[in-house]
Amino acid sequence: MVETPFDRSSEVVLNVHRKDFTTTNAIVSAINRQFGGDVARAVDGLSLAVRAPADITQRVAFMSAIENLEVRPGEPPARVVVNARTGTVVISNNVRVSPAAVSHGTISVAISATNEVSQPNALAAGQTAAVQNANVEVQEPNKPMFLFQPGVDLRSIVDAVNQVGASPSALIAILEALKTAGSLRAELMVI
């Protein structure tokens, strides 16, 4: 049998998957509620120390009981994840936006040229000449501007962006602009 700190130490140190003080505190509270007293203590946002029985069989059973405790984890950080290649955007529930006005729209410019020939009458003096007629057409869709109020939530963001008919690539551009402007209260991850 190989000796490890698991069978020698009076405490077992457990680490949560991601550093989160709220989740670590919830685990410590659940352990102390189940086993009484100060069996568990938080070391930091990532680790907690648990006083465990000395007998290895009891220690394994004790750790199994801890492993099966119901714990409500803390809310994950506000995050927007964008896959720029596929246009997929995932917005976590706790994303907020501080006051901002957003306008989204595209201007379409179409230039068409018609080549014609100008030919003088049979009795007129002159030469046949090529004439190019250009037609310029500018279209700008009537896309409304929308205003985000302080603390607006996910549903409002999605509804507003859908209202202007933004494509996934336009949504990515809007989110990046909100983040750059300091209005997006979330981590923006472009993968």
Query: How large a percentage of the chain has pLDDT more than 90?
Result: 27
Amino acid (1-letter code) at residue 108:
S
pLDDT at 89: 80
CA nearest to 131, candidates 119, 139, 141, 122: 119
pLDDT at 4: 65
Confidence band for 61, pLDDT divided at 50, 70 and 90 = very high
Q: For 88-99, what is the HEC assignment?
A: EEEECCCCEECC
pLDDT digits (tens, 9 = 90+) for 105-161: 654 444 444 667 777 777 766 777 776 555 545 455 666 566 666 667 666 776 777
